[in-house]
Structure 1
Amino acid sequence: MKFDPDKIRENASEDFDRAWNDSAKYVKKPLFNERYPITSINYGKPHPVYDTISKLREAYLRMGFEEMMNPIIVDEQEVHKQFGHEALAVLDRCFYLAGLPRPNAGISDERISKIKEMLGDLSTEDIDIIRKVLHAYKKGEIEGDDLVPEMAAKLDVSDSLIVEVIDQVFPEFKELAPKAGKRTLRSHMTSGWFISLSEILKRREPPFNLFSIDRCFRREQQEDAARLMTYYSASCVIMDEDVTVDHGKAVAQALLSQFGFEKFQFRPDEKRSKYYSPDTQIEVFAYHPKLVGSNTKYSDGWVEIATFGIYSPIPLSKYDIPYPVMNLGLGVERLAMIIHEATDLRGMSYPQMELYSEWEMSDSELARHVEIDMIPESSQGREIFEAIVKQCETHASEPSPCEFPAWEGEIEGHNVKVSVIEPEEDTKLCGPAAFNEIVIYNNDILGLPDNKKWKKAFSNHSARTGVRFIEALAAKAASEIEDAVAKGDTEIETRARIIKTPAEINIKLSPLAQRYVTGKNKKIDIRGPVFTTIKTEIS
């Protein structure tokens, strides 16, 4: 959607119109969120891995491949069929699925007595209900998440009471330990392809051009910058009577050239997996100009990006597949690292994890974490705020002593007179820092004058908070006037002298911003001579 400031202004509220800077044409951070409901226009940001998956899907589809979803849960016997003598080594890297066994919870006289203490005087029929429900749970007729509500409904008691009974009377539920079966999480997409191709052949005739992009799971000894225990594989197969290694080369080149790779090398893979025919397992090295001179092991521009081969007829025969099959696979995360110029797989995949990645906030993001603390709540309070700011803007340089009426009116039945004053001689109504604005510049949070020296800081409109010292002070004065009226005070003065901290000028930074700036050893420098006083008389 095209960003159209005039259209936004047309549809926005009158209050938001006041916040719009016609000359600069940017959306300022609102002083009071209630008054200015539109604060910013944001655009979504894709995750680098899912962004790469999306591009790979489009690339495969453009090449005429049909998308498939392969089984993720694979029985260990399938691994034995596919890998032969290597199966044990493969299974050593697999995650086995485990589940909690269903306990055989008997009901002794002692347990019946304890249940009656907790639920009241139960009848013989009620005890029999408990016994039958537990037996049905043991046999799998009742699911684990239905056990409590099922028993509670049949005994006409609350779920919480049944939870207490199970917790205190049947300790075997708490003592349950997971028990693994023979099912594994897929460690290679190949495990799923054999199963899928076998089933497809029962309904369709080749040739097949198929692809699947999905998670695989591998029980690594540890995760590091180059490997994760769960990763995405972008895998394809071609089943055809005439398929050869050349098909693998053609697919690799056609697929990867869509991501900016210009040249390719095909080298025999020394790993030689048993599910590939001898001398057909090939590693694909691709050249990418972005990598040249980079601070990575791929600084020569060449990176191993994919592997392909022809499935061995031995495992194919165990699935009644009589046709040759070419399989190509690549790790999505490795491709994503190149595209997004990342150096650590963990940091790229899990940028929210402090352990894995540097925390980076833009100046624009930080600006949204700066706000005025005390603000007026009533319409009169907001009128006072605006009147104070207007008088200060108009008479800031007037020599002192001086006094300028700002607002007079009624609040909750009381007459209120507000003036901006400077009683001291040989100075001005407002100090030199009164109109400093809070701006984020190179991750420093600064109170700056809008002058030539700070032109660069003010050029980034999205990093300007739109909050000046005088506005923060006026908001505080208006809020304190509201409180003074409510308490029955007759006079109040709000003043700012030399500001040394954000709180002294009624500015609040979010805990997130403070933690970020402190952690990055950046500055929070909101200070300067404001020398402004607001005097209020209440009668």
Structure 2
Amino acid sequence: MKFDPEQVRLEKNENFEKAWIESGKYIKKSTLEESYPRMKPVFGKPHPVYETIQKLRDAYMRMGFAEYMNPLIVEERDIYKQFGDEAPAVLDRCFYLAGLPRPNVGISDERIRKIKEIIVGIDDDGIEIIRKVLHAYKKGTIEGDDLVSELAEQLNVTDIFVTELIEKVFPEFKELKPEGTTKTLRSHMTSGWFITLSELIERNVPPFSLFSIDRCFRREQQEDASRLMTYYSASCVIMDENVTVDHGKMVAEGLLSQFGFEKFMFRPDNKRSKYYAPDTQIEVYAYHPKLDGSDTKYSDGWIEVATFGIYAAPALSEYNISMPVMNLGLGVERLAMILYDAKDMRYMTYPQFSQYGDWEMEDSELARQVELIQTPKTDAGREIADAIVDGFKQHGKVAGPCEFEVWKGELCGKTVTVSVSEPESDTSLAGPASFNEVVAYNGDVLGVPNQKKWEKALENHSARTGFTFVGAFAQAAAAEAEEAVLAGASEHESRVRMVKMLSEVNMRLTDLGQRYMTGNNKKIDVRGPVFTTVQFKIE
């Protein structure tokens, strides 16, 4: 009886899985994956911005700076104290915080009627409970996220009833509109340093050398490749009666030299912020060999990376600070772009969002998107797959007609003999492409032979799938043999001819891999002559 594996799969014989499980030999991992382990990351991968932050933290602490956390929420009045008549322009770039007001909710007779329709059986005591809880919410003794649970607990009902109550009886909650406050999100780390230093000098004696690396928020008109509305500032201050601009130069050199910058230029900053003393605001330009000759606007190797200055005495006096303070700050994302050779700050920061840049998948990751379609489910099936590969390795160059027995034993309760054969004359048992391996190379998926021509593609072991044409085919052949035995067949033949697609040798791309290849116009080229046959005799 000739066995048609496709027909058996269509019939979905329910005894297959049951027989494999009952045999105690049911396994999920394929022998090929065990013989050729896939290269998978052992460690996690850090985000470039957070990794740069960590390196900056270490760099600051090596220089003797202590780490502090500055206030993130800054009152509008502090901006006026720090920036003087420039404050309105600065505040235009700030995000103001707003909140929902707490409504003063009354309970009329009409509302009591609606409450009784929702919570059947509620009495006057229950109505009074609602009144008191809503009053406590208005006074702030009950938080908004506790309101539903508090009402449900005191009324002894589920949250569903309370949610319906608020929606249908008290529409004031849905109609609330945010009301602005005078609190802003910090747009400059300087805003926090003034507040921090004013508190520190009340309890400590200078000098202080402090640093903070944290988020700032700026209401930009739009984000672009070099500007984000939220960014990280790596900022430090030195409070010392003898501090000068030279301290800023030394800190800049000491900090940035730890990141590979070799030479520095210091230029007056034309922006002249009011919180810096006149003629002390300095831009730091640093030379990095990685940029020299690049195709960026920094092709000469020089880039502005930091700004420093001495805080103005009038601004310091607003906080009762009488000692000079040097402040230096740099944008973490800008430094990270240099270190990671990034062209777009948005894509470097948010690579998960397609609108910020092209989808880039490393070859090692793309290789892991290639998987087998069929694998044997028994130990014996796995042995058969290995034996088929060994048979073609040993006899593959023998010219036909020829046949070699490669395995004989028990498979799913039957005696099975496995042979590799070539019926035609002057044709090798294994075709020239039989041992081509599927690899990921420059974003493409290729089937390549182990030849000098493909040395570059094969040298990256993490981008090699470990799947050869004949190896993957052997997996399918062994799986079909298991199905044939359980279907009661007496013989079966598996063969592959000229390969043009992955599926012809029992491979496919995952859905993720397919989306990447299609969306980026990448190619799959696995063409090659295999012309291989495996025969199974079942007794």
TM-score after normalising by structure 2 = 0.86
1:428 is displaced (CA, Å) by 3.7
Contact 1:31 1:371 in 2 (8 A): no
Instruction: Tell me which residue corresponds to 2:447.
Output: 447
d(CA) in 1 for partners of 2:36, 2:140: 58
- Distance in structure 2 (CA, Å) of the matches to 1:259 and 1:48: 14
Contact 1:367–1:440 under 8 Å retained in 2: yes
**Aligned equivalent of 1:166:** 166
1:96 aligns with 2:96: yes
Counterpart in the other structure of 1:138: 138
Q: Please give the secondary structure, in 1, of the residue aligned with 2:182.
A: strand
- Give the counterpart letter for 1:301 in structure 2: G
Q: In the aligned structure 2, how far is the partner of 1:189 from the partner of 1:110? A: 54
Q: Which residue of 1 aligns with 2:129?
A: 129
- Secondary structure (helix, strand or coil) at the match of 2:238 reads strand
Matching residue of 1:259: 259
Compute the displacement of 1:503 (Å): 1.1
- In structure 2, the residue matched to 1:396 is 396
SS in 2 for 1:202: helix
Distance in 1 separating the partners of 2:151 and 2:471: 63
1:285 corresponds to 2:285: yes
Distance 2:157 2:432 in 1: 73
Q: Deviations over 1:387-410 (max 9, x none)?
A: 322333333234434443444444
Change (3 A) 1:400 1:165: farther
Segment of structure 1 superposing worse, 79-88 or 153-162? 153-162
SS, match of residue 249 in structure 1? helix
Task: Please give the alpha-carbon distance, in whole angstroms, between the structure 2 residues aligned to 1:231 and 1:106.
Answer: 45
Is the 1:206–1:239 Cα contact (8 Å) retained in structure 2? yes
1:348 matched residue in structure 2 = 348
Residue aligned with 1:439, SS: strand
**Contact 1:31 1:467 (C-alpha < 8 Å) held by counterparts:** no
| Cα displacement (A) at 1:213 | 1.6
2:189 alignment partner in structure 1 = 189
Deviation at 1:80, TM superposition (A): 1.3
Q: How far 1:109 moved relative to its partner?
A: 4.1
SS at match of 2:202: coil
Q: For 1:290, what is the secondary structure of its paired residue?
A: coil
Query: Paired residue for 1:315?
Result: 315
Distance in 1, matches of 2:504 and 2:33, equals 22
Identity across matched positions, percent: 65
Contact map agreement 1:129 1:154 (CA 8 A) in 2: yes
CA contact (8 A) 2:37 2:466 kept: no
Distance 1:132 1:459 in 2: 74
Partner of 2:81: 81
**1:57 — aligned with what?**
57
User: What displacement does 1:76 show?
Assistant: 0.8
Residue 88 of structure 1: how far off its partner (Å): 1.1
User: Is residue 129–residue 154 contact of structure 2 (8 Å, CA) maintained in 1?
Assistant: yes
Q: Report the 3-state secondary structure (helix = DSSP H, G, I; strand = E; otherwise coil) of the residue aligned with 2:166.
A: helix
For 1:437 and 1:327, locate their aligned partners in 2 and report how far apart those are by CA, in whole Å.
58
The alpha-carbon distance between structure 1 residues 342 and 39, as it changes in their structure 2 partners (threshold 3 A), is: closer
Give the stretch that moved more between structures: 196-205 or 131-140: 131-140
Distance in 2 between residues matched to 1:156 and 1:329, nearest whole Å: 56
Q: 1:67 to 1:345 in 2, by over 3 A?
A: same
SS at match of 1:420: strand
User: Which shows bigger deviation, 356-365 or 225-234?
Assistant: 356-365
- Amino acid aligned to 1:453: K
Q: CA deviation at 1:490?
A: 4.4
Q: 1:489 to 1:222 in 2, by over 3 A?
A: same
Q: Which residue in 1 is equivalent to 2:9?
A: none
Paired with 2:354 and 2:441, the residues of 1 have a C-alpha distance of 24
After TM superposition, the structure 1 = structure 2 runs for residues 217-236 of structure 1, keeping only pairs within 5 Å, are 217-236=217-236
User: How far is the alpha carbon of 1:278 from its aligned partner?
Assistant: 2.2
d(CA) in 1 for partners of 2:49 and 2:213?
Answer: 11
- Cα shift readout 1:77-119 (whole Å, capped 9, x = no counterpart): 1111111111111111001112222233444444444444444
Query: Is the Cα contact below 8 Å between 1:481 and 1:492 reproduced in 2?
Result: yes
Inter-partner Cα distance in structure 1 for 2:271 and 2:401? 88
In 2, Cα distance between equivalents of 1:142 and 1:353: 39
Tell me, in whole angstroms, the C-alpha distance in 1 between the residues paired with 2:279 and 2:428. Answer: 88
Residue aligned with 1:375, SS: coil
**Which residue does the alignment assign to 1:468?**
468
Per-residue deviation, 1:426: 4.7
Structure 2: 5+ residue stretches without partners: 1-28
Is the contact made by 2:32 and 2:472 (CA closer than 8 Å) also made in structure 1?
no
- CA–CA distance in 2 between the matches of 1:292 and 1:430? 53
Cα deviation for residue 439 of structure 1 reads 2.0
Task: Please give the secondary structure, in 2, of the residue aligned with 1:277.
Answer: coil
In the TM superposition, what are the counterparts of 1:17-32 in structure 2 within 5 Å? Answer: none
2:335 is the counterpart of 1:335: yes
Deviations 1:212-248 (A, max 9, x none): 1211110000011221111121222222222222322
Secondary structure in 2 matching 1:397: coil
Confirm or deny that 1:240 pairs with 2:240.
yes
Measured at CA, do residues 109 and 486 of structure 1 come closer, stay the same or move farther in structure 2, by a change above 3 Å?
farther
1:254-310 Cα deviation digits (max 9, x unpaired): 333333333333332222211122222222233334333332333333322222222
In structure 2, the CA distance between the partners of 1:420 and 1:163, relative to structure 1 (3 Å rule), is: farther
* Cα separation, partners in 2 of 1:154 and 1:435, compared to 1, 3 Å: same
- Per-residue CA deviations over 1:346-386 (Å, capped at 9, x if unaligned) read 23222333222333333222222212111111222212222
Amino acid in structure 1 at the alignment position of 2:445: I
Q: Which residue is equivalent to 2:25? A: none
Q: Which residue of 2 aligns with 1:8?
A: none
The alpha carbon displacement at 1:33 in A equals 5.3
Give the AA of the match of 1:244.
T
Q: Which residue of 1 aligns with 2:70?
A: 70
- Displacement, 1:43? 4.2
2: CA distance between counterparts of 1:168 and 1:386?
69
Measure, in 2, the Cα distance between the counterparts of 1:106 and 1:485.
78
After superposition, the Cα gap between the structure-2 partners of 1:533 and 1:60, relative to the gap in structure 1 and judged at 3 Å, is same
User: Does the residue aligned with 2:465 lie in a helix, a strand or coil?
Assistant: strand
Instruction: Flag the 1:285–1:450 CA change in 2: closer, same or farther, 3 A.
Output: closer
Q: Contact (CA 8 Å) 1:231, 1:331: kept in 2 or not?
A: yes
> What is residue 216 of structure 1 aligned with on the other side?
216
1:512 and 2:503 correspond: no
Counting matched residue pairs gives 511
Secondary structure at the counterpart of residue 196 of structure 1 = helix
Q: Tell me the secondary structure at the aligned position of residue 46 of structure 1.
A: coil
Q: What is the Cα-based RMSD across aligned positions, in Å?
A: 2.7
| Structure 1 stretch displaced more, 514-523 or 275-284 | 514-523
Q: Distance in 2 between matches of 1:329 and 1:108?
A: 59
Query: For residue 324 of structure 1, what is the aligned residue in structure 2?
Result: 324
Structure possessing the higher relative contact order (Cα contacts under 8 Å, 6 or more residues apart): 2
Which stretch has the larger CA shift, 380-389 or 112-121?
A: 112-121
Residue of structure 2 in register with 1:374 after alignment: 374
1:419 aligns with 2:419: yes
TM superposition shift of 1:522: 2.8
